[in-house]
Structure 1
Amino acid sequence: MRCKSCESSFQDYYADTCKQCHEHHKAKVAFLGATHPASFSDVVLFASDDEAAGPIPAHKAVLVSRSPVFRAMFENEMEESLSGTIKIGEVSYRTLGAFVNYLYTAEVRLDQQFACDLFVMAEKYQVQHLKDYCQTFLLANLNCDNSLSTYTLAHRHNAKQIIDAALIVITDNMDKLTSRKEYAKLKEKDPQLVIEIYEAFLSRHSSFSCVRTVYSPFTFP
């Protein structure tokens, strides 16, 4: 049989979907089915990096039911809950709009940069459903060209599954990656991450002493 959602082949599971899609749909229904407390009124959000783009309207009831961070903000009568205006720092208007839309619909069309930006927002506001969705995308689309940037992002947010997957791609493509400006910038900005790459590279080769003579974290091209 073929899954109606992902079109992959599968053995009988639930109706017309494979097990993975079935679980995804269940999680989505649970996410959207969260209660909306009636005691909260409307609110507007601004992307502080692009305030000229205007406000993004939302409902406090939706925000607090999707995000523990928003719930704490409104329940503790912080400035935002009193003014009805929330300024979100270090985010574009497009990303903030997609984030708010996801809280209502659990839908978003991702690309590599968008997945990274929304992954950061999902972690900041503890929206686990969105964070998992972005992580799945980043893992599925991990390649030589984006491995260093994805690895760096994952380290900033302690996403171990992405870190481990990125290290495999990086250490499989050392000859290509160490000659790039992106790698040189990483050595300058965060040498500790380069040491981790070096150690991962060594651990994946059986001849430790032989590899050591060829590469070191500071003599990589």
Structure 2
Amino acid sequence: MRRSRRVRFLSDSDIDSGEDDDDNEDDGDGEEGSSAARRWRRRMRMKCLSCKEEYGGGDAGTCRECYEEAGETKEELKREIDDLKSKVNFLRLLSVGPGPAGTSSVTRPCFYDVVLVASDSIDSADSECVSIPAHRAVLTSRSPVFRAMLENEMEESLSGTIKISDVSYDALRAFVNYLYTAEACLDEHMACDLLVLAEKYQVRYLKTYCEKYLMSRLNWENSLPIYAFAHQHGATSLLDAALSLIMDNMDKLSKQEDYMELVEKDPRVVVELYEAYLSKQVNTAASKDPKGVSRYSFQEKRYTHDMHMNNIIEHETTNGTEDPKTVNFFI
């Protein structure tokens, strides 16, 4: 018994040595000695709680590698916890609950000094219920547009109310949440709404984040409306990605479900698509024939381009939407 208690703290090399000593013991011990040695070895080999690998009895609960790893990540975990605590505190500042007589009230003191209101709720009787409280310090630090509004003697600064047009309450809430936490939960519709707000209030990182999300969801079916959307809001990366996809499927463009709708709403975008395609074809031909592009090939592509332009002009004239500016643009 004494021997067993003493060797529990030996190193692995000592254990191996001990095993050799057991093997060389007097045969008189017989099977009893062999059985005791097996029990001793089982007792000395344990499994790490983290990696499940066996380790020597000198370590306490975890192997040395896992223990060292845990020490290295301790500071990272502490920073992450502090970060989460800060975000929770910010979210508490935004928490709004029902107050007396159906009005909104802040559930705990938060000292907000400005409210944001979506335009579709301004004239409604319960507009107070959908207003979002915020802090000038946060808004001005995150958006140059808010800074200009709130640091000068503009209406928003004097009244403490910022009315934001053409936005839903949910989108505005998500926008304010991003300003506080730098996080956003997106679907395609929300990504479009937040990109519009990010462009309007010059929140650059949010705009980039929404662009990347929409690029990850880009396919042939939604390429045309996304191209038009990116064109309207200056989303360059998203525009290039959608344009590349459309160029690769130009023969199917006029058959797209959204094609005629785009012709009616914004024919200039359709014209730009055909011009981009024509330019791409000419450049491709020039790269294959450095001494000069075949005139026949160029004229053939130009004829196809003009046919599409004539179809658009004819559609505009038939629907009575043609005006001098549009005609001059097409010519």
1:11-46: CA deviations, max 9, x gaps? xxxx99xxxxxxxxxxxxxxx9xxxxxxx9521111
Report the Cα distance in structure 1 between the residues aligned to 2:112 and 2:173, rounded to whole angstroms: 19
Moved more, 72-81 or 210-219: 210-219
Query: Which residues of 2 match residues 96-175 of structure 1 at below 5 A?
Result: 96-175=172-251
After TM superposition, the score normalised by the length of structure 2 is 0.51
CA distance in 2, matches of 1:189, 1:104: 37
Partner of 2:308: 217
Q: Identify the residue that residue 48 of structure 1 maps to in structure 2.
A: 119
**CA apart distance, 1:212:** 4.1
Aligned to 1:67: 143
Distance across 1 between alignment mates of 2:273 and 2:298: 15
User: Does the 8 Å contact 2:212/2:238 carry over to 1?
Assistant: no
Q: Percent of aligned pairs with the same residue? A: 58
Amino acid at match of 1:217: H
Q: CA deviation at 1:123?
A: 0.9
Q: Any stretches of 5+ residues in structure 1 without a counterpart? A: 1-14, 17-31, 33-39
Q: How far did residue 62 of structure 1 move?
A: 0.6
After TM superposition, give the deviation of residue 214 of structure 1 in Å. Answer: 4.5
Q: Is this contact kept in 1: 2:112–2:134, CA < 8 A?
A: no
Distance 1:99 1:176 in 2: 37
Aligned length: 185
1:181 CA displacement: 4.2
Q: Which has the higher contact order (CA 8 A, sep 6+)?
A: 1
SS, match of residue 185 in structure 2: coil
- Whichever residue aligns with residue 117 of structure 2, its letter is F
Maintained 8 Å contact 1:41/1:61:
no
Report Cα offsets for 1:133-182 as digits up to 9, x if no partner.
11111222221122111111121122332222211111222344312342
Q: In structure 2, what is the Cα distance between the partners aligned to 1:109 and 1:173?
A: 32
The match for 1:5 is none
Contact 1:73 1:80 survives alignment (8 Å): yes
Q: Are the counterparts in 1 of residues 230 and 238 from structure 2 also a CA contact under 8 Å?
A: yes
Distance 1:136 1:98 in 2: 17
Deviation at 1:91, TM superposition (A): 0.5
What is the CA–CA distance in structure 1 between the aligned matches of 2:217 and 2:278, rounded to whole Å? 25
Divergent runs of 4+, >6 A: none
**How many angstroms apart in 2 are the aligned matches of 1:181 and 1:72?**
42
Structure 1 residue 208 displacement after superposition: 3.9
Give the aligned residue type for 1:142: L
Query: Alpha-carbon deviation of 1:89?
Result: 0.5
CA separation in 2, counterparts of 1:79 and 1:46?
14
Q: Secondary structure at the match of 1:178?
A: helix
C-alpha displacement of 1:203: 3.1
Partner Cα separation in structure 2 for residue 146 and residue 87 of structure 1:
31
Contact 2:195 2:207 in 1 (8 A): yes
Instruction: Decide which structure has greater helix share.
Output: 2
Deviation per CA, 1:166-208, whole angstroms, max 9, x where unpaired? 1111122234431234211211222221111112222333454
- Which structure has the greater CA radius of gyration? 2
Match of 2:255, SS state, is: coil
Cross-structure match for 2:293: none
Distance across 2 between alignment mates of 1:113 and 1:41:
29
Q: Does 1:197 align with 2:273?
A: yes
Measured at CA, do residues 50 and 147 of structure 1 come closer, stay the same or move farther in structure 2, by a change above 3 Å? farther
Superposed CA RMSD: 2.6
Separation in 2, partners of 1:81, 1:41: 13
Query: Separation in 1 of the partners of 2:300 and 2:274?
Result: 14
**Structure 2 Cα separation of the partners of residues 45 and 217 of structure 1:** 46
Letter in 1 for 2:162: I
Normalised by the length of structure 1, the TM-score is: 0.74
CA distance in 2, matches of 1:96, 1:157: 18
